[in-house]
Structures are given as C-alpha cells and as structure tokens.
Amino acid sequence: MNLLMPWADPDDRVYSSPTSLLVKMRLGEAPDHAPALLDVHDCCHDPAHHLDRGPVDRILSRYAGAVRAARLHCAARGQHTRGHRHRGYDDVEQVTGVARTFFVKVPRGAPIARICDRLRQIAAVEAVTPNYMTAQNMDAEPGLERPRATNDATAWHPRNMVGAAEALEHEPGDPGILIGVIDSGLAQGHPELAGRVREGGFDTVKLHSTDVAPGVHLLGDYTENDPHPVDDFVGHGMGCAGIIAALGLNMPPGLAGQCRVLPMRALGAAKLPDKVLPVGLGALSDLDLAITLAVNLGAKVLNLSFGTSDAALAPNSPRPHQDAIRYAAARGCVIIVASGNSGREERFWPAAYPEVITVGAVDATGQPAAFSTRGNHVTLSAPGARILTTSLGSYQYATGTSFAAPFVAGAAALLVSRAARMSHPLDGQQARDILIRSCQPFPGGATHSGAGAGILDAAAALTTLDEMIVHSPGETGGQHVH
C-alpha cells in the first residue's frame, strides 16, 4: 500500500508517524529532569519542555511549536517505581544509548524530515530518527491458514525435523526461564498455553488516530499502556507462542518445554484498506520499549518476528532497533529474529545486527522456502511452512519466517535451561556458536547461499552444549566455542 508522507524524507518508503520522532543525545548531554514516557502516559509527570536549553530546543520550538519530550526507556532499577522510572540508569543503559533516547511529540503537519536534518547537525545530538511503523501480515508475509483438523499427522513433521522429542527428553526446560515474545500479544485462556505464560507481561502499544494514514482503522486497545498484553484481532503472537510453549493437547508440544512465555504486546491491530484480515501495526518506539522492558522483567531469550527492510529506509536515517538490541545483548539475552519474507537477498532490521541469531525458513522438504529472505547475516534455518500452532480462538497453520524463528527461540530456551542446570553461564554469542555447530545439513548436503549454516537440530545443540561444558576450563565458564 503506497502512503503519502509529506512530513517524511522522500527516500523513506517505510511509513512513519506524522506526530513523533526519536532523538538520542550524546553521552553527558541528556537532561536528568526528563521523565520516562510510561510515567507521562500514567499522568505522573508532564513531558519535558526543554532538552538542552540551546539549539535543540530552538529547532523543536521553531518547527514544532514547543518541546514535548520524555525518555523512551525506563531505568531497570526504577522500572517498578511509578513516577520515578527515569531514576538510576546504569552504565549499560548509558553506553548502549537507551538512557539517552527521547520520544519527542510534534503536532501533525510538522516537517519531521526537516527537523531530523536540522537536529543531526547539532553536536549534542548523536542520532535522530522518524518513528517508523512496522506491519505484520502485510505485503510479503505469507500469512495464516485455518486447519481442517488438529490431528493431522503431517503437523508433527516440522517438530520431528528439528529433533524436538529427543531434545525434550534431554532437557525438559526450566519454568524459571522466560522467552520474551515481542509481538501482537496473546489471547486469554487458550488451553494449550495454560501454565506456560508468565503473568506480568506488558502492553506498550500507544497509538492515536493521528498517527496513521487516512483509511487505516485502529482496532481494540491501542491507547493504554498496561500489564495486559491481550490480542483480540491479529493472532501473530499466538502463532509464535504456540510453537514455543504449547502443551500439546491438539498440536505438537512447544519446543521450549516447561520454559514460559513472557508476552509483550508491541503490535497493535489495524484494518488496512487493501487487506481482508487485521494486521499487527507497531511503532518503532513501542517495539523498542517492549524489548527493554522484557529484558528488565527477566526474559533470557527474546523472539522478534518483525522487521523493516533496509532498502526502504533513507540512507541517512539510523537503522531501527539498534540500541534496544545492543542493550538486550549486553544484559546476556539470546536474541532470535526472523530473517524476513521478501524472497530476496537483502537485509532487514533487526535481523541484520551481529548480536542476534537470524532465522530463515525451510519448507517440508528441508529446502529453503521461496519466501525466505536470504543473506550472509542469516544464522540458520528452521521449518516455516504450514506450521500447526495456536490461534486467537483455536488453531492455525502459519507460514513465514515469523514462525521459523520460534523453533530456534524454543531451542535456545532449552540451552539456557540446560546451562543453568549445570551452573554454567550462557550468553547470546555462545548460543549462536552452539546452534551453528550443531546444525544438520540441508538435504543431500547441498549448500544454499544466504540460508545459514543448515537446519536447526535442537537435540544436537544440547549435546554440543554438554560437550562444551565438560571441556571448558574449571572456573572460567563462558568460554566461546571454537
């Protein structure tokens, strides 16, 4: 769908909000008084009316009428203290930039591209970006299909392909290990997820009708941030969660075993003029906030089944999600990202960042799926065609790299569980190395450029982890696999 964006850079082909942008100040330049965005939304604070009392404020006042800003991310140590979420940022938050990033509100009609260009010329500003929007089940997303029956024998094939049964015999998963699913939220009360969803997730969706183009209709809850990440319309997050955590009542059990899902709703629901079904629609600010909140809430594995094409972004714009990804990696998270569904060799963000494990899709024969985005940044592949999983009210067959990534997220959660059981630290780079080393080859030993090292083998990954721990130096855990 082509949308006119007179406020945006003409080189940007990704829709962005006409009413907000993100500004990252340099180290030492961020004002201490500015509140956290969640506290502004909770009416604990007014937004900050100045950032530097200098050129930044003058530019915003000239083009937006006034300064209305808040810190996008909460401080980890202040996250649970309502009204004080901007207090106590630590060195990791400062260095990665999450402590220095501000959500800036502007009136509709403000020239956002011009504001970004002017602010980039200020020495105190490290980066400026429009508040891009991501849509799921849109354009190239292969989509969802309703099953005729949930006892279809072929539904077990993807699970068998990745050695799920053997993996779960080896390691059943630890209920204390959380997989943050940053997506459209979950339906309430689905029997397949009973006991497998951690209470205390969050809904970061904060959209207004002025944020979207004419003809786009927002659905359901899209204005309130709250601890209720409920999806009533889309089902994308439910598809991911079932592959990770289903009990196996009427579908194959989730690959993460007894590990639990931490649902983070960062994609709202919208009806687009050229789509029959609702899509998930998420602002860059909401997605990044959900990532850092999930980390601060204890998620050790993140599943990110969304992305933005590099080719659709203006050359001078920062690539989306960089600071949130760096923050999660610095906190020791294993970050799993879908490669994309363009069917071309190209980069999507956050899939192209070196800190993540990027997952392409294979079909039922084990060959790379035609829709799967390829590239040297793809780590490995997993089943992504007609995967039987949970839906909002029942079950669905889901297709796309969005649904290949959760297989790897489930395997990663088992690795984290196993390592914790053996008192061995495991970070994202080690998990990546293990998954690459343990991949099974593509059928016939073929090599497929841009499809990663091979196909996920969860059972072999656990065996590789055990061998690594046995052969690691005594008290120097955390050595990288070579």
Strands of 221-289 (E only): list them.
260-265, 268-271, 279-283
Please confirm, yes or no, whether 157 is among the known catalytic residues: no
Q: Quick one: tokens of 276?
A: 């029959």
Phi, psi of 473 (to 5 degrees): -60, 150
Contact criterion met (CB below 8 Å) for 309 and 342:
yes
Contact criterion met (CB below 8 Å) for 241 and 262:
no
Q: Quick one: tokens of 268?
A: 């709202």
Strand 357-362, strand 380-383: pairing: parallel
Kind plus residue range of the DSSP H or E element containing 469: helix 458-471
Please confirm, yes or no, whether 50 is among the known catalytic residues: no
Amino acid at 398: A
Q: Quick one: tokens of 427?
A: 């970070």
The active-site residue, picked from 236, 285, 342, 381, is 236
Task: Name every residue whose Cβ is closer than 8 Å to that of residue 53 and which is 6 or more positions away in sequence.
Answer: none
Q: Quick one: tokens of 22?
A: 């993100």
Closest CA to 218 of 263, 276, 280: 280
Please confirm, yes or no, whether 394 is among the known catalytic residues: no
Q: How far apart are CA 341 and CA 104, in angstroms?
A: 32
Q: Give start and end residues of each alpha helix (H) in 246-306.
A: 284-296
The active-site residue, picked from 12, 39, 183, 203, is 183
Q: What b-and-e string marks burial along 402-429, b requiring 16 or more CB atoms within 10 Å of the CB?
A: bbbbbbbbbbbbbbbbbbeeeebebbbb
Closest CA to 431 of 452, 449, 409: 409
Q: How far apart are CA 379 and CA 452, in angstroms?
A: 4
The active-site residue, picked from 305, 402, 417, 438, is 402
**Residue 160 burial (CB count, 10 A):** 12
Kind plus residue range of the DSSP H or E element containing 96: helix 91-96
Q: How far apart are CA 337 and CA 58, in angstroms?
A: 39
Q: What is the largest CA-CA distance in the chain?
A: 66
Q: How far apart are CA 117 and CA 183, in angstroms?
A: 31
The catalytic residue positions are 183, 236, 402
